[in-house]
Amino acid sequence: MQLTRDEQTDNLKRPPEARNFKVEDLIRRVEDGYIRIPSFQRQLKWEPQDALNLLDSLYRGYPVGTLIFWKTPAKADIFTAGELTIEVPERADALWVVDGQQRLVSLVLSLVKEHKGNKHDFYFDLDEEGLKNISQKQRTDDPTRWLPMTQVLDSEDLLQWLYKKQPSPTRTQKAIRVGKRIREYEIPTYTITTTSEKTVRDVFARINHAGKSLEESEVFDAIHSTTSEESSGSFDDISRNLRPLGFGELPQDTLNKVMSALLGRQKKTKFVSSEQKLTSEKALEAYTNVEEATRRTIGFLKSHAHIPHFDLLPYKQPFVFLAKFFHHHPSPSSRSTDLLSRWLWRLSLTKALRNFTLSEPAYLGSISEDEEASVQSLLQQLPENEEALLDIDAPFRFNHATSKLFTLALFTHKPKNLETEKLILPSSLDTTPSGHLLIPTLVQDKNLQHYNGIANRIFYPKQKQLKKQILQANPALLQTHMIDLDALEALRDGDEETFLELRAKTIEEYSRKFFAKCARWGETDRPSLLSLLADDDDDEDEDD
């Protein structure tokens, strides 16, 4: 196998500079802005255990791999990792991290004393000589046994800790040894000096072809945001620009798939070949196209498809298909948007995506420069006459399509706040620790038949006294939550079983009508009349 002429990149004018950095020097260089970590890389994929293993390797003298830097100018910036925030100045000779970002950020989070994050609060056991993440009680019970790793980076900090805690001579000796081993451990590095962005991209891609590689979206962001003088294009920028739309946070992986679809890449590859590499100008154009297509997709979902939030999409894949469509057809006809909405709902209500690996190329390939043909092709990919019958008693799991579909039904019934009487929007709901919408339960008796179903969920901000508030609320407002008078009476009588049974029936009846209205089962899916007339004109021209 050999590279073609187009795939070949320029040679480095001089070999990478090899140098060993002590851990204490490495972190100081991060703090003063000499070493820069692209913003995407500050979002750790490593688990705390990975960071713990890294520190343990330093202590034991194990090899931890090589860091690779790219020497190129850097603007003044704010370095943020966990709770740590550092202002760093502009530098003409900055070293950008090309490989080794997770190791470096883990060291910063674990060793810098200004950072206080529970996940990286590691302690060295001066008795058993090992690193651990321990509880507050353990530290309180025997405070001189546990050496905080945030005290070892600076020898003066370590001495102050020893003076304050007064551990035994044996523990003191071990603490000094730990600090010395961590601080003075030398990590090998290579620094690339080149003005060729293409070469750096090639190095980046080859590094991430082997081992535990970065996602393709991160390669796009890191290379582009690091090298472009005027670059503001990144998936982080797109997410930030779209937040005012109130559609929730779009994952970078979704934005990356949109970019791949717009660039014509249907398969995600770890190795970025030369044909896939983008100049700074092309990269900025690609990010702009992604943002515009995504913005139009969100507008369509909220205005035409009754889907107000990304978390409420029954399936995420159609978002990418729609983005490609709106990239090619930014202002489709009303007939096209109507048919697209039907297509999306039928796709969500049936099992059309059960073999997504096979269906993805078909859906993406259906979208062309011809608007009407694209819509018709998407519709033709759907199974015929497969109207869904969703189980109202299905266990509520927000990562399942059925639960999201019923939640959409709750939302479209225009639920109102029981105190302010204002419409409840997704933005007013609480979120889970992972940032997803939280749909709270109404009653807490787990033995009830409908306890796990949608009947025991309410589109409402989570509150401790929610049941009490419902009992005291205006019945007209409760109707917006599909709690009718009979269900309310059962709840007031303490009959929670009947309450959930009646509410399940109400939700099921409304949902069936709502889903049918959105999917338009059995209605004609013909193109617009203008399109049909145009086809007739073309046929007449051919006859002539």
Per residue, the 3-state secondary structure of 212-225, as one string, reads CCCCHHHHHHHHHH
pLDDT at residue number 16: 84
Q: What is the pLDDT along the chain (544 residues), one digit of tens a residue?
A: 344 434 455 677 778 889 999 999 999 999 889 999 876 544 556 788 889 999 999 999 999 988 999 898 888 887 777 667 788 888 999 999 888 888 998 999 899 876 555 578 899 999 999 898 877 778 788 889 999 999 999 988 999 999 999 999 999 999 999 999 999 999 999 898 887 766 766 776 666 554 444 554 554 555 455 545 444 467 888 888 888 888 988 988 899 899 989 988 654 444 343 334 556 677 788 888 999 999 999 999 998 999 999 999 999 999 999 999 999 999 888 899 999 999 999 989 986 666 555 567 888 888 999 999 999 999 988 877 566 668 898 999 888 899 999 999 999 999 999 988 899 988 888 887 767 788 999 998 888 888 899 999 999 998 788 888 999 999 999 999 999 999 999 999 999 999 999 999 999 999 999 999 999 988 888 887 665 555 544 444 444 4
Q: Where are the alpha helices (DSSP H) in 350-474?
A: 356-365, 371-380, 401-412, 466-472
d(CA 349, CA 511): 12
In angstroms, the Cα distances linking 237 to 203, 290, 348, 490, 518 are 25, 11, 30, 51, 33
Region for 421 from its dihedrals, namely left if φ exceeds 0, alpha if ψ lies in -120 to 50, beta otherwise = left
- Does residue 436 contact residue 311 with C-beta atoms inside 8 Å? yes
d(CA 280, CA 259): 15
- Does residue 437 contact residue 408 with C-beta atoms inside 8 Å? no
* Helix/strand/coil (H/E/C) assignment for every residue in 77-146: EEEEECCEEEEECCECCCEEEEECHHHHHHHHHHHCCCCCCHHHCCEEECCCCEEECCCHHHHHHCCCCE
In the chain, domain spans: 17-193, 197-380, 401-519
Amino acid at 221: D
- Does residue 222 contact residue 203 with C-beta atoms inside 8 Å? no
Count Cβ neighbours within 10 Å for each residue of 322-333 and write b for 16 or more, e otherwise.
bbbbbbebeebb
Helix (H, G, I), strand (E, B) or coil at 24: helix
H/E stretch holding 202: helix 197-207
pLDDT at residue number 48: 84
| Residue 267, both tokens | 């398969």
Comparing CA positions, the residue from 77, 85, 82 lying closest to residue 34 is: 77
In this structure, the chain runs to a length of 544
Region for 65 from its dihedrals, namely left if φ exceeds 0, alpha if ψ lies in -120 to 50, beta otherwise = left
pLDDT at residue number 271: 39
